Amino acid sequence: MAPPNPHQWLCERFGQYYHSTPMPNIMPRIERREFGFGGWEKKIEFRHMTFRSHEDLRMALARDRPLFCSASSAYYEFPDARPMPKKHWLGADLVFDLDAAAHTCAPFTCPECMSKINSQMIHLVEDFLLDDFGLSRGELQISFSGSRGYHVRAYKKEIEPLDRDGRREVVDYIEGGGLSFDAFFDSNFKVENLELRRTVFERLTGPTPASAGYAGKFARRVVALASEPASAVQISPKLKNKEKAHKFVEGVKAGDWSKVDLKGEKAALAAIFESLKVQSASELETDANVTLDTSKILRMPDTIHGGSGLVAKTIPAGVDLGSYEPMHTALAFAMDKRETIVTSRAIPSISLGGQTFDAIESGKKIELPAAYAIYLVCKKAAVPV
């Protein structure tokens, strides 16, 4: 008897999942969105589809059994029209796509990768979307991508009309582009008094740790550096003196950056600001093209990712983002049922569903929990028997 076709084998199991699993109503105005389905070779093989409700979508997924389901960030008057201009664009959500960078664990996903991308997601949400942009947690939908990252969607009427240029400004801000160090201060660092042939320092009013945006981030960074003797010298050798360092910190907290006379230290502070921008950009591995694309179709939340067999699970608003572990909780298939596969490559030790599995050699026939067996077949690292 010939072994099952991997694609068809997966489709059967995906169809069974959608047949028995309700589709949560998590996507606003679903009837205004364009959808796409994909299979073994392409994540989007068919598009220009529309559904009246989440239940209609679930029924189509159970019937057609695609391996991938994607939905547009955009709203259209006619979502199923083609070519694109005939859809009549009405606006779009603001979307961020974070994926773990290439790693030795690829094509699999290790705890180190997920921990890193989880930290980046929290950085984006808490430091920018909530703190700087003033969005509420209820206006954000945070979903596991189903594979190696997260998708963050901002739902807010005021955001929807933003064109590509407007979204570019958002990306540039997050990456620290176009921000000027001098713009944070209300006075020059120094005024040259030619008559007295000496430099007269004015009161320098600047940001406080409570200031919004990058101004506050910069002030907090400077306070943190100045509060530790080992790092205070990055600002000025004068801050080796604990009393002067304390005086400087208290001044910054009050918005007075001239409590200690830091002649010639503008360059040092400017360098700290530049390093803050660089660090902020490097700490976020977002795909800017996804954010800029006002007609992008992206994984539908709470559908299965055909490259992993995991659900692109939405994180409920009350869940602690720091403790969320999608490789344990975003399972579509059971761990207490078994499937038999033959590996087509060497499999490293992998953690899934709260269990850690030993490495498996290539060509080995083995019975595994269904969720893990399907994961390996989705990764094209094994075939079903």
Among 219, 249, 282, residue at a domain's last position: 282
Alpha-carbon separation of residue 339 from 55, 251, 333, 373 (angstroms) = 29, 65, 11, 6
Looking at the structure, tell me whether residues 231 and 343 fall in a common domain: no
| SS3 category, 12 | helix
CATH of the domain at 148: 3.90.920.10
Q: What does the alpha-carbon distance between residue 385 and residue 373 come to, in Å, rounded to a whole number? A: 11
According to DSSP, the residues that pair with 257 across neighbouring strands are none
- Torsion, CA 210, CA 212, CA 215, CA 219, rounded to 10: 20
Looking at the structure, tell me whether residues 294 and 322 fall in a common domain: yes
Looking at the structure, tell me whether residues 104 and 33 fall in a common domain: yes
For helices 213-226 and 242-254, angle between their N-to-C axes, nearest 10 degrees:
160
Q: What does the alpha-carbon distance between residue 152 and residue 358 come to, in Å, rounded to a whole number? A: 33
Looking at the structure, tell me whether residues 88 and 71 fall in a common domain: yes
Going by C-alpha positions, the residue among 350, 214, 371 that lies closest to residue 278 is 214
Residue 54 lies in a domain: yes
Helix (H) or strand (E) holding 172: helix 164-174
Please give the pLDDT value at position 91: 98
Count the domains in the chain.
Answer: 3
Q: What does the alpha-carbon distance between residue 317 and residue 302 come to, in Å, rounded to a whole number? A: 15
Residue 216 lies in a domain: yes
Q: Tokens 């990058």 appear where? A: 214
Residue 86 lies in a domain: yes
Going by C-alpha positions, the residue among 157, 268, 170, 159 that lies closest to residue 218 is 268
| SS3 category, 297 | strand
Please give the pLDDT value at position 251: 94
Please give the pLDDT value at position 278: 81
Q: What does the alpha-carbon distance between residue 378 and residue 373 come to, in Å, rounded to a whole number? A: 9
Q: What does the alpha-carbon distance between residue 245 and residue 374 come to, in Å, rounded to a whole number? A: 59
Residue 1 lies in a domain: no
Looking at the structure, tell me whether residues 364 and 327 fall in a common domain: no
Looking at the structure, tell me whether residues 70 and 192 fall in a common domain: no
Q: Tokens 């002649």 appear where? A: 263
Using CB atoms within 10 A of its CB, is residue 95 exposed (0-12), middle (13-18) or buried (19+)?
Answer: buried
Looking at the structure, tell me whether residues 155 and 295 fall in a common domain: yes
Looking at the structure, tell me whether residues 18 and 92 fall in a common domain: yes
Looking at the structure, tell me whether residues 12 and 144 fall in a common domain: yes
The alpha carbon of residue 3 and the mean position of all alpha carbons in its chain are separated, in whole angstroms, by 39
Residue count (the chain): 385
Residue 127 lies in a domain: yes
According to DSSP, the residues that pair with 366 across neighbouring strands are 341
Q: Which residues of 65-81 are buried (b: 16+ CB within 10 A; e: fewer)?
A: bbbbbbbbbbbbeebee
Going by C-alpha positions, the residue among 238, 299, 233 that lies closest to residue 95 is 299
- For residue 148, the number of C-alpha atoms closer than 13 Å in the C-beta half-sphere is 17
Contact 58, 20 (CB under 8 A): no
Looking at the structure, tell me whether residues 302 and 240 fall in a common domain: no
Looking at the structure, tell me whether residues 71 and 164 fall in a common domain: yes
Going by C-alpha positions, the residue among 73, 75, 78, 79 that lies closest to residue 90 is 75
Contact 6, 57 (CB under 8 A): no
Residue 147: φ, ψ to 5°? -140, -80
Range of the structural domain that residue 342 is part of: 333-385
Looking at the structure, tell me whether residues 306 and 359 fall in a common domain: no
Q: What is the pLDDT along the chain (385 residues), one digit of tens a residue?
A: 678 999 999 999 999 999 999 999 999 999 999 999 999 999 999 999 999 999 999 999 999 999 999 999 999 999 999 999 999 999 999 999 999 876 778 899 888 899 999 999 999 999 999 999 999 999 999 999 999 999 999 999 999 999 999 999 999 999 888 788 888 887 554 444 444 445 555 567 889 999 988 899 999 999 999 999 999 988 988 899 999 999 999 999 999 888 887 766 778 888 998 888 888 777 787 899 999 999 999 999 999 999 999 999 999 988 999 999 999 999 999 999 999 999 999 999 999 999 999 999 999 999 999 999 999 999 999 999 9
Going by C-alpha positions, the residue among 270, 19, 302, 365 that lies closest to residue 143 is 302
Residue 76 lies in a domain: yes
Residue 253 lies in a domain: yes
Question: Would you state the structure tokens that stand for residue 83, as one six-digit string?
Answer: 């070519």
- Ramachandran area for residue 199 (φ above 0: left; ψ -120 to 50: alpha; else beta): beta
Residue 95 lies in a domain: yes
